[in-house]
Structure 1
Amino acid sequence: MNNHINRRSLLLGAAAVAATPALAACGSDDDGGGATDSGSGQGEVTFGSNEVGSTFAKQRQAAVTDFQGKNAGITVKLNEIDHNTFQENINNYLQGSPDDVFSWFAGYRMRFFAKRGLVGDISDVWPLDGVADSFKTASTGDDGKQYFVPQSYYPWAIFYRKSVWQERGYTPPTTINELATLADKMKGDGLVPVAFADKDGWPAMGTFDILNMRINGYQFHIDLMAGKGSWESAEVKKVFDAWAQILPYHQPDSLGRTWQEAAQSLQQKKAGMYLLGTFLIDQFPQAEREDVDLFTFPAVDPAIGADAIDAPIDGFCMSAKPKNKAGAKKLLAYLASPDAATAASKLGEPFISSNTKADTSSYTAIQKKSAELVGSAKNIAQFLDRDTRPDFASTVIIPAFQEFIRKPGDAASILKSIESQKKTIFID
C-alpha cells in the first residue's frame, strides 16, 4: 500500500465551480470566533466542511475531536454545509468571510482560487511527513507555492454485490462487449443492469470521463478538459456513440434521482452494478459492506486498454485572511497526518489516506481493493468538474449531459452547442 501512491501519475487538474447565489460564510466576523493570537495559534479555529451526514463528515468530526485532544488551548468550530450548496457557492463564500480552514480539492480547483488570491499560502506547512511529492505537486499553485494539504483519495469504479453475482454466476467483464453481454443477462434475470442517477448533474461526468479515457486515451481526455481540441471531433462523437449504446442498460428516469437513491437500488439487490466513487458504501448498512466489491471499467479499445481511472484527491485549504493563521496551519498539518488517518480509519470509512505512514491494519476489504486499483493505474484523472474550468463544467457540461441523457439521438447538436460555448469560455 505505501508504495502505491508514489507510483501514481497524479493529475494537476481540477476545476472550481462557477459563482452562483451567495452561500452564507460558515465563519463570519460576528460568529464568536473573533481575532485570536495568530502567533501561538491558541483560541478558536473555524473549519468549513462541505459535508453533512456523510462518510467525509464523520471523518472530519473524528479529526476535530482528536485534534482538540492533542492541542490544548485550541478549539475548532466545525461548520457543516451540504456538499452541493457549498460547491455551487464557493466563489461568494471565499470573497465574503470564509472560515479559517475549509474543505476543497487538489489540482486545478485549488490553483484557480490561489491565482485569484482567495486561498492562503501554506508553503511553511510543507513538507508533510509521510506525504509523497506527487501529492505536493497536486497541492502547488502556478506560482510554485503550496495552497492545499491532502487527506484522502478514492477511485471511481464499477461496484457490485458479491452475493448477487455469486448466486447468478456473473464475472467482471474485461471488454465493453462483455459488459454489454453481462447487462443483457442481468436484464433477463430481472435486474436493472446499471444503477444511475444524475439529478445533481455531476454523476454523469464520471461516465463520460471513463468512456473518453477508454476510447481516446488519458492525454486526449486531459487536453479536451483544458479546452484543447474540438467537442465536435470524430473522437468525441465516438464517445457519445458508445454512451448512447450503453445508456439503455442504465436505470431510467435518472434526472429525477440522486446518487444515494441509485446506490440504494444496488443495496436492495434491484440493480446489478453501479459506476461511482467509493462513497457509495455510505448507503449500505455496516453488516452488508463486506458484500460489496469493485472492478475497473473494462477496455473499449484494446490498443488503449483500461489503465486510466478517476481517483479524486480531497483535502483542505486556508482562507486568504484567516483570523487565526497559526491555529489554521496547525489544524491543516494535523489533517494530513497519520494521526488524522488513524482517527478516520476507526470509523471503517472507505477512503484511502494520502499519508503513506497511516495505519492500514484496520482497512476494510473495499479500502484494500481500492488501493490496489489505484496503485495499478498508470494514469489518474481527478474527475471532470475538477479537471476543467469551473464555468465550463457548471454552466455548459451539466446541462449538456443532462440533455443527452434525455435525448441521446441529439448528440450532434449537443456537441455543437458545447463547442460553441467552449470557445467563449477558454479565452485566457
Structure 2
Amino acid sequence: MSRPRSQAEYLARLVPPSVAGLNRRSLLAGAAGAGALLGTGVLAGCGSDSGSGTDSKTVSVGSNASDPTPKDVLAKLTAAFQGSSGIQANINTVDHNTFQENINNYLQGKPDDVFTWFAGYRMRFFAAKGLAGDVSDVWGKLSGFSDAFKKASTGDDGKQYFVPASYYPWAVFYRKSVWQQHGYQVPQTLDALNALGAQMKKDGLNPIAFADKDGWPAMGTFDILNLRINGYQFHIDLMAGKEAWTSDKVKKVFDTWAGLLPLHQPDALGRTWQEAAQSLQQKKSGMYLLGLFVAQQFNDNEQDDIDFFTFPEIDSTIGAKALDAPIDGYMMARKPKSTANAKKLLEYIGSVDAANIMVKGDPGTLVANTGADTSGYTALQKKAAELVGSATEIAQFLDRDTRPDFASTVIIPAFQQFIKDPKNIGGLLTSIENQKKSIFTS
C-alpha cells in the first residue's frame, strides 16, 4: 500500500470498509445480544426521558474517566464550559471497566445527557439501536476536524452521533535511562525482540510488563501480532466475522504469542494495567505494549525518560506500519433532559479552547482538533503524532472493531484462558469460532 500523504488520509483508514458497510439490521441483531450479555448492573444516570429542554442551567455527564489524569482534565473542561456558558455540568464518574460493561443497560435506562464513549463501530452500534442522539447540527458548528474524524463519528444513516476529543497510538514503551544503562537497542525484528527479552531476563528485569485483570489489555497484543503476521485487511475481516478463527493464519498468531509469553510479566490475570505500568515506572520491567495513556502513570519529571518504538516486523512482505490508534470522545443520550444544553456542551468539547485544555492536562493522549496549540506537547506526544502520521493502516482496537457482545463474552474469557494455559490453542480457537458463528448469524 502506498504511503498516505496527510494525517487526514491516515485517519481515514480508521473506519474499515468491511465494517462501515454493516447495515442497520445486522447492528440491531448484535445489539439484542449485547443487552443480555454486557452486564446486569445499571450505571446511575441523571437523565430523563422528557427531552423537554426546560432545564436551562445544568447538564449531566456520564464519564468513564475514572483515572486521575483524565478525570482532572474533564473537571477542567466542564469548569471552563460553565464559565463561558453559565451552564453547570454535573459529572457522574464510574470506573472505566464498569462503565463499559454496563453501557447497554445504562443507555436503555435514564442515562446522563452526555456520556463518554468511542468512535467507529462501537458508536455506530448504539446509534443504530436508537440509544444515542443525533448531533449533526453540532458538527455544523465545529471546525478543526478532518473528514476522517467526521467519518469516524458518523452512523450508518449518515448522521453524526459522536464528537471526538482525543486519540492515542499503541506502541512498546520503555524508560530511556534503563535502556542506556544496559545498552539495549530497539529491535527491528521478532528475533531481535526475543533476544532482547532474553537479555533483560539475565539483567533481572521483567522483559515485557503485562496485565489482563480487566480483560481488554491482551486484545492489544493480539491486534499487533495479527496485523504484523496477517496484515490489516485480514485483521479487519476477522473482526467482522468474515474469516475463521480456526484458520492457519490465526493459529500462527497464537503460536507466536505463546512463544512470547515467557517474556511477559507473570500472573497477568491478577494485575491491572496501572500496576503493570508502575513496574515500568519503577524500572522493574524493560518494556510495555500499551497505549500512549501509559504516560499518565509517570511523574512530570519522568516524562522525558519515556520513549517507545512500534512493534517490530514479523513478515517482511507485510512490514510494521499498521497500528491501533483508538479515538475517544462524547455522545448525547437519545432524550437528554435538556437537548440544548447537551449540544452546547458537545460544541464546547469540540472547540479549540477545549482541545487546548486537553493538551495542557494530559500527556497520555493526542487531541483530535487540528486547530489546537500543540506546542505544549511533550516530546513523547510529538513522537506519537509522528507515529500515527507514518502509519499505513490504523485500527481502532479489537473491542471497538468487532461486535461488543463477541468481544466481551467470547474474546475476553478466551484470551484469559490462553494466558493461563497456552497449550491447547486448537481447542481454544475451535471454541471461539463456534461462538462467533452463533453470535454473528443471530
Shorter-chain TM range is over 0.9
Aligned to 2:432: 418
Q: How does 1:26-425 map to 2 (within 5 A)?
A: 26-29=45-48, 37=53, 42-72=56-86, 74-127=87-140, 128-425=142-439
Secondary structure of the 1:368 match is helix
How far, CA to CA, are the matches of 2:46 and 2:407 in structure 1? 27
How far, CA to CA, are the matches of 1:78 and 1:290 in structure 2? 32
Name the aligned partner's letter for residue 38 of structure 2: A
Aligned to 2:38: 19
Deviation at 1:333, TM superposition (A): 1.2
Aligned-pair identity in percent equals 62
Contact 2:14–2:394, Cα closer than 8 Å, also in 1: yes
| Pair 400,35 (structure 1): closer, same or farther in 2 beyond 3 Å | closer
Query: Unmatched 5+ residue regions in structure 1?
Result: none
Deviation by residue 1:342-367 (Cα, 9 ceiling, x = unmatched): 11222242211101100101111111
1:9 to 2:5 alignment: no
Contact 1:27–1:98, Cα closer than 8 Å, also in 2: yes
Deviation by residue 1:270-298 (Cα, 9 ceiling, x = unmatched): 10000001111122122111100111000
Deviation at 1:7, TM superposition (A): 3.6
Contact 1:308–1:379, Cα closer than 8 Å, also in 2: yes
Secondary structure of the 2:277 match is helix
How far, CA to CA, are the matches of 2:188 and 2:351 in structure 1? 37
TM-score by length of structure 2 reads: 0.92
How far, CA to CA, are the matches of 1:148 and 1:25 in structure 2? 21
How far, CA to CA, are the matches of 1:145 and 1:151 in structure 2? 18
Aligned residues: CA RMSD: 1.8
Contact 2:43–2:103, Cα closer than 8 Å, also in 1: no
How far, CA to CA, are the matches of 2:404 and 2:51 in structure 1? 32
Name the aligned partner's letter for residue 108 of structure 1: Y
How far, CA to CA, are the matches of 2:281 and 2:109 in structure 1? 41
Query: Unmatched 5+ residue regions in structure 2?
Result: 20-29
Deviation at 1:4, TM superposition (A): 2.7
How far, CA to CA, are the matches of 1:358 and 1:175 in structure 2? 36
How far, CA to CA, are the matches of 1:247 and 1:233 in structure 2? 21
How many corresponding residue pairs?
421
Aligned to 2:25: none
Contact 1:8–1:378, Cα closer than 8 Å, also in 2: no
Deviation by residue 1:239-295 (Cα, 9 ceiling, x = unmatched): 011001111100111111111111111011010000001111122122111100111
Deviation at 1:8, TM superposition (A): 2.9
| Pair 6,334 (structure 1): closer, same or farther in 2 beyond 3 Å | farther
Q: Which is richer in helix?
A: 2
Deviation at 1:21, TM superposition (A): 1.4
Name the aligned partner's letter for residue 66 of structure 2: V
Secondary structure of the 1:332 match is helix
Name the aligned partner's letter for residue 181 of structure 1: A
